[in-house]
A = this chain, B = another copy of it.
Amino acid sequence: MWHRVFARCNRTKHWRRNTAVDISKDFAQHMQAQDIRTTQLPNGLTLVMERMPDVRSAAFSMLIPAGNIYDPPGQEGCAAVLSDLITRGAGDRNSQQLAFDLDNLGLQRSESASGSHLGLSGATIADRLPDVLRIYADIVLRPQLPADQFDAARAGIAQSLHSIEDEPRQKAMQELRRRSYPSPWGLPSDGNLEGLSQLTADTVRTHYENCFRPSETILGIAGNFDVQAIQKIVEECFGEWPDKPAPTVEVSDWAPNVSHIAHESTQTHIGVAYESVPYRDEGYYNAWAAVNILGGGMSSRLFTEVREKRGLCYSVYASLSALRDQGRVFCYAGSTNERAQETLDVMLAELQRLPEGIKEGELERCKAGAKSSLIMQQESSSSRASAVARDWYHLGRVTTLDEVHQKVDALTVPSILKYVDEHPADNFTVLTLGPESLEVNLGVS
């Protein structure tokens, strides 16, 4: 999430070109000028393109404002079923023909529902991109949503829900997320079995008709292609898509909470969450650094204290979750039942002792990891397509990797401590899953 940044973009139909400027120190030699162009069609669809002259692939990421927050209450799972059904026939291709034609283009693709979006993405050889986009215009604007495949699509989501029941680690983190955000924001994207059972093919079609609209849709494309030709194709394919008003979403109240899910198992799964800031917040990079120092890798505090020094668990981490308007830190540890209480105690103690001080070395490692990630990301068209689309969603503009680099470089121990002081780790939401519930002991180390 963190590795996305800020370059000025326009919301008009005219191009503005963002190129890299003034990057600091020895790192500058590694960063390439990025050629990022943004345009908005008259119907509101935003097209963000990054041209990558050194690759031969092209990738796209299309975010459509039809995620599971728009699921009708009592029929949760609607967006998830739609994300399956939407590729089962479009335009004049039936389900099988559509799969065949996309596979013939060598497209590696995926469809998914998240809270805010239904996401369609794919990657292939760059010169296949025009054909891919034309087929996706059918998928987005003219899906068949065949009623006779509704049961199969729903069964797939139902079985995915069943399988989560068998995977307590995922189950624990899904339940932690549900309890950490006001509903419907934290709800599982696949919904629930009760909601699915109430769903009909008509509900799914209505979800499509209510939610699919150009004005909050973002199409990110990255790779080696002719930007003007691709813009023209996007305009031809998506320009006539009529806009409509956004559906409303009712958001519940929320407060931190502690809960336990009884589960017979050899292990206890521990999830801890607390409030952080969203990506667009000016404190975001300090928040990111704090979480990284806590639980971002093998020299992080949680890894060192919980796993390496005490051997309490096989897996432990902390990560930052960001919706557009709110953020959370999610921490996980899996432990034997016998050592679960000690694991939770040590985790909470580590979270709370961060304001006591951060070493320069911790910050340096954090920066080194960030810079290395930037280099990797700039080499992947899929990463970039996804990053430019999500950037636009979160910030209403697209950022360059140079700017991320500058933000990372500007981090200091005092800036992080100031952030941590203003946003302390407290008001924990705790979810445990295992045979026995645990005590939330604050102030223990």
Interface residues in chain A, defined as those with a beta carbon under 8 Å from any beta carbon in chain B: 30, 32, 54-57, 88, 95-96, 99-100, 102-109, 123-128, 149, 151-153, 155-160, 162-163, 165-169, 265-267, 297-299, 304, 307-315, 334-336, 361, 364-365, 368-373, 375-376, 378-381
Known: A56-B30, A100-B299, A169-B166. A371 touches B314 (CB 8 A): no
Question: Would A365 and B313 count as touching, CB distance under 8 A?
Answer: no
Known: A30-B125, A166-B169, A308-B88. A159 touches B365 (CB 8 A): no
Question: Would A57 and B375 count as touching, CB distance under 8 A?
Answer: yes
Shortest beta-carbon distance from A371 to chain B in Å: 6
Question: Would B56 and A379 count as touching, CB distance under 8 A?
Answer: yes
| In-complex Cβ contact of A371 among B88, B106, B160 (8 A) | B106
Bound CA span A108–B370, Å: 10
Residues from chain B with Cβ under 8 Å of A369 in the complex: 103, 106, 108
Shortest beta-carbon distance from A108 to chain B in Å: 6
Bound CA span A361–B101, Å: 10
CB closest residue in chain B, given A103:
B365
Residues from chain B with Cβ under 8 Å of A162 in the complex: 266-267, 314, 336
Q: What are the 3 A-B residue pairs with the smallest beta carbon separation, nearest first?
A: A106-B372, A152-B311, A159-B314
CB closest residue in chain B, given A122:
B372
Known: A100-B361, A334-B163. A368 touches B152 (CB 8 A): no
Residues from chain B with Cβ under 8 Å of A378 in the complex: 56
Bound CA span A44–B271, Å: 48
Question: Would A169 and B159 count as touching, CB distance under 8 A?
Answer: no
Known: A125-B372, A375-B57. A155 touches B99 (CB 8 A): no
Bound CA span A163–B268, Å: 10
Residues from chain B with Cβ under 8 Å of A304 in the complex: 96, 99
Shortest beta-carbon distance from A346 to chain B in Å: 13
| In-complex Cβ contact of A311 among B151, B169, B309 (8 A) | B151
Question: Would A311 and B155 count as touching, CB distance under 8 A?
Answer: yes
Residues from chain B with Cβ under 8 Å of A311 in the complex: 151-153, 155-156
CB closest residue in chain B, given A26:
B127
Bound CA span A55–B95, Å: 39
Question: Would B54 and A159 count as touching, CB distance under 8 A?
Answer: no
Shortest beta-carbon distance from A413 to chain B in Å: 16
Question: Would A376 and B103 count as touching, CB distance under 8 A?
Answer: no
22 A–B contacts from the bound complex (CB under 8 Å): A30-B56, A30-B127, A56-B375, A99-B299, A102-B298, A103-B297, A103-B369, A104-B364, A104-B368, A106-B371, A106-B373, A107-B372, A123-B376, A125-B372, A152-B307, A153-B311, A159-B335, A162-B267, A166-B169, A166-B266, A167-B167, A379-B381
Bound CA span A398–B136, Å: 38
| In-complex Cβ contact of A313 among B159, B310, B361, B375 (8 A) | B159
Shortest beta-carbon distance from A385 to chain B in Å: 13
Given A107-B372, A128-B372, A153-B311, list of 14 further CB < 8 A pairs?
A100-B365, A102-B299, A103-B297, A105-B372, A106-B373, A125-B371, A125-B375, A152-B311, A155-B314, A163-B334, A166-B265, A166-B266, A379-B379, A379-B381
Which among A107, A162, A309, A335 has the highest number of chain B CB atoms within 10 Å? A162
Shortest beta-carbon distance from A254 to chain B in Å: 30
Residues from chain B with Cβ under 8 Å of A106 in the complex: 368-373
Bound CA span A334–B165, Å: 13
Bound CA span A249–B160, Å: 41
Known: A311-B151, A368-B104, A371-B106. A336 touches B266 (CB 8 A): no
Residues from chain B with Cβ under 8 Å of A373 in the complex: 106, 108
Residues from chain B with Cβ under 8 Å of A368 in the complex: 103-106
Residues from chain B with Cβ under 8 Å of A167 in the complex: 166-167, 169
| In-complex Cβ contact of A159 among B100, B165, B336 (8 A) | B336
Known: A30-B56, A307-B152. A299 touches B365 (CB 8 A): no
Question: Would B267 and A152 count as touching, CB distance under 8 A?
Answer: no
CB closest residue in chain B, given A367:
B106
